[in-house]
Amino acid sequence: MILTVAPPSTLRHEEWEYLIHSVLSAVPAFITDSNGIILWGSERFGDLTGYSVADIVGMTPEIFKSQVHDNRFYGKLWKTITKGKIWEGQVTNRDRNGSLLHLRLRIIPFKKRKQGITHFIALYEDITREMELQERLKQSEEKQNELLTTLMPLMKELKEATTALENARTEKDAILNATGEAMVLISNQHDILWFNRSFEDMFLVQYTSDSSITTEALHSHLQKAFENANEVLSKYFTSTESTFTEQATYTQVWPQKRNLEIYASPVKSKSEEYIGSLVVLRDVTREREVERLKTEFISHITHEFRTPLTSIRGYTEMMLDGDTGELSDDQRQFLNTVSRNANYLSDLVNDLLEVSKIESGAVRIKLVEVDLRSSIEDVIERLSPQASEKRIRLQTRIPKSPLEIKADPNRLSQILLNLMSNAIKYTKEGGRVTVTVRKRKSAIAVSVEDTGIGMSSEDLEHLFEKFYRSSNPYVESVRGTGLGLWITKSMVEMHGGSITVESKVGKGSRFTFTIPR
Ligand code: ADP
């Protein structure tokens, strides 16, 4: 591009000059002759470089040179402009103080016809700030890259951990959703945190992790679902207990009638801090129905057995008593076997009926004030014929003070009778059975101690299981069903107590049960 310096026809020469001067003064610029000697510099150029016009006039632009560009750079520039072409590019110059200036430069050569190039105009634009910004941008990009390189492996690890966690969660959810038991997680503030699919199905509620049902809504939902809703809510859903809440059966009435077994187990943090509880609800409707049918069946069978058994036992007794005439030794021996077996059958039938009633929950205890001393004395009186037959001494160690306890009198007698008759049964002739009562802080403890055959550690392990009898030959020679201790333990637990046993083979045993005061 060649600049035309001739003024347009609409402007007078002086006007044109004035305009050119004003434009040049408004930007950092200087003018040189064709040899590059500075003839004029603008004030803005002075502002930018710190040089005054007087400083630069007569000098060449060499005074602005920094060491940044080599001679080839300047050679090319000079070649371009002396050919009459505009040179455009970035340069780094030094200001008057020696500081570097980053500039965009445009050098425009002026030609006059015939004369060739007469002047050069250098126009500057300060890009120091722009360069600084670019530099900072570059630096921050580098920093970012550096950070990314360190972060990448971490992010990979994090991703892997998250995937593992998600998998574990999905697996856990799958397991928890697959169980038939309904589960609800409750915070220590009683907020419902989560429940599984079985709970949704059981109570017709929907759980989504992002918009879970509110605790209040769920409580009112449960209100209509249970017969004893207030009890269920206060015991399992709004309780402040941080321990295991005992299992109990409740009747669900909506949306379907069901028997639900419920318990709550505390959820603790690693530092053993109580953070909430898990409530588990199990549908036991079918189980209860099966149990009911079983009990019904057993009680029917029992009844059917009892009548013929009574006559078998009655008639054998009569025959053994000689009511039907003299018996030969053989006849007596056979009848004794019949009598023994009939008695065993009768015991078995009675015990089976009892077990089945307990298992179906049909046994309810009625707690009343009971005088423990007289209960023990009654049982001793009932058992004294058996004891004296084996010359076993029955003795008691009972405190003098009143021994009123809250218990079901029939069940308490049953517990005492089972333990004391076992003590007599499994003690050889001439032994001793002692009943001791101790008052503890929160319970009364009753011990039945004998000097009998004792039990092995294996016996102690299985003692309270149904039908368990020791393989000791002495035990085998004594009539028994193996159900008595299971029934006894159940009865004690129904009273809120517990039963323990200590024993040594050949030395004797001590059974101790407690009844809360
Ligand atoms: P049963 O006496 O009808 O066999 P139990 O359930 O009452 O059934 O007792 C289970 C078993 O425990 C007995 O068969 C016996 O082996 C053992 N046992 C119970 N009480 C005593 C005792 N006082 N001394 C030794 N063994 C005992």
Q: How far apart are the first and last CA of the chain?
A: 115
Indicate the pairing of strand 258-268 with strand 274-283.
antiparallel
- Give me ligand 1 centre to Cα 458, in Å: 13
CA separation for the pair 180, 134 (Å, rounded): 65
Residue 431 corresponds to which amino acid? Answer: G
Q: Band of the pLDDT at 18, cuts 50, 70, 90?
A: confident
Mean pLDDT of the chain: 89
Helix (H) or strand (E) holding 178: helix 128-178
Closest C-alpha residue for ligand 1 atom 25: 454
Residue 465: predicted pLDDT: 95
Q: In the block, which residue shows the tokens 């574990």?
A: 168
Nearest to 415 by CA among 393, 440, 447, 453: 447
- Give me ligand 1 centre to Cα 449, in Å: 13
- Please check whether residue 10 is in contact with residue 105, taking contact to mean a CB–CB distance below 8 angstroms: no
Chain centre to alpha carbon of residue 248: 23
Across 239-261, b (16+ Cβ under 10 Å) vs e yields beeeeebeeeebebebeeebbbb
Q: Band of the pLDDT at 1, cuts 50, 70, 90?
A: very low
DSSP 190-231: --EEEE-HHHHHHHT----SSSPPPHHHHHHHHHHHBTTHHH
CA separation for the pair 250, 222 (Å, rounded): 12
Q: What are phi and psi of 430, to 5 degrees?
A: 80, 5
- Give me ligand 1 centre to Cα 343, in Å: 17
Binding site membership of 481 for ligand 1 (Cβ less than 6 Å): yes
Indicate whether 36 pLDDT > 60.
yes
Nearest to 264 by CA among 252, 275, 280, 276: 280
pLDDT, tens digit (0-9, with 9 covering 90-100), for 113-148: 788 899 999 999 988 888 888 888 999 898 888 888
Nearest to 190 by CA among 282, 271, 264: 264
Q: Determine the average pLDDT of the residues in 323-347.
A: 92
Q: Bridge partners of 93?
A: 65, 101
- Calculate ∠ Cα 27-29-35, nearest 5°: 165
Q: Is the backbone peptide bond immediately before 266 cis, with ω within 30 degrees of 0?
A: no
Maximum distance among all Cα pairs of the chain, rounded to whole angstroms: 172
Percent of the chain with pLDDT over 90: 55
Percent of the chain with pLDDT over 70: 97
Q: Band of the pLDDT at 3, cuts 50, 70, 90?
A: very low
Closest C-alpha residue for ligand 1 atom 3: 480
Indicate whether 5 pLDDT > 60.
no
Alpha carbons within 13 angstroms on the beta-carbon side of residue 57 total 8
Binding site membership of 485 for ligand 1 (Cβ less than 6 Å): yes
pLDDT, tens digit (0-9, with 9 covering 90-100), for 231-290: 999 999 988 777 878 888 999 999 999 999 999 988 888 888 888 889 999 999 998 888
Residue 208: predicted pLDDT: 62
- Give me ligand 1 centre to Cα 378, in Å: 22
> Which of 60-64, 78-82, 290-294, 374-378 is predicted least confidently?
290-294
Binding site membership of 420 for ligand 1 (Cβ less than 6 Å): no
Shortest-distance atom of ligand 1 to CA 486: 6
Alpha carbons within 13 angstroms on the beta-carbon side of residue 225 total 21
Residue 122: predicted pLDDT: 93
CA separation for the pair 466, 487 (Å, rounded): 9
Binding site membership of 488 for ligand 1 (Cβ less than 6 Å): no
Query: How far are the Cα atoms of 181, 213, 303, 307, 358 from residue 353, in angstroms, in the given order?
Result: 30, 47, 10, 15, 9
Nearest to 41 by CA among 29, 50, 33, 32: 29
- Give me ligand 1 centre to Cα 299, in Å: 25
Per-residue H/E/C for 47-65: HHHCCCHHHHCCCCHHHHE
**Predicted TM-score (pTM) of this structure:** 0.55
Residue 216, classified by CB atoms within 10 Å of its CB into exposed (0-12), middle (13-18) or buried (19+), is exposed
Neighbours of 205 (CB within 10 A): 17
- Give me ligand 1 centre to Cα 247, in Å: 29
Q: Band of the pLDDT at 212, cuts 50, 70, 90?
A: low
Binding site membership of 260 for ligand 1 (Cβ less than 6 Å): no
Q: Band of the pLDDT at 4, cuts 50, 70, 90?
A: very low
Question: Probe ligand 1: pick from 345, 392, 426, 465, max atoms within 8 Å of CB?
Answer: 426
Q: What is the three-class DSSP state of 362?
A: coil
Residue 7: predicted pLDDT: 64
Gyration radius of the chain's alpha carbons: 53
CA separation for the pair 403, 112 (Å, rounded): 137
Residue 32, classified by CB atoms within 10 Å of its CB into exposed (0-12), middle (13-18) or buried (19+), is buried
SS3 content of the chain, % helix, strand, coil (to 5): 45, 25, 30
Alpha carbons within 13 angstroms on the beta-carbon side of residue 114 total 0
Q: Determine the average pLDDT of the residues in 190-203.
A: 88
Alpha carbons within 13 angstroms on the beta-carbon side of residue 450 total 24
- Calculate ∠ Cα 188-192-195, nearest 5°: 125
pLDDT, tens digit (0-9, with 9 covering 90-100), for 453-510: 999 999 999 999 999 999 999 999 999 999 999 999 999 999 999 999 999 999 999 9
Indicate whether 152 pLDDT > 80.
yes
Indicate whether 380 pLDDT > 60.
yes
Residue 406: predicted pLDDT: 94
Binding site membership of 447 for ligand 1 (Cβ less than 6 Å): no
Nearest to 517 by CA among 364, 420, 401: 401
Two tokens at 482? Answer: 């193996």
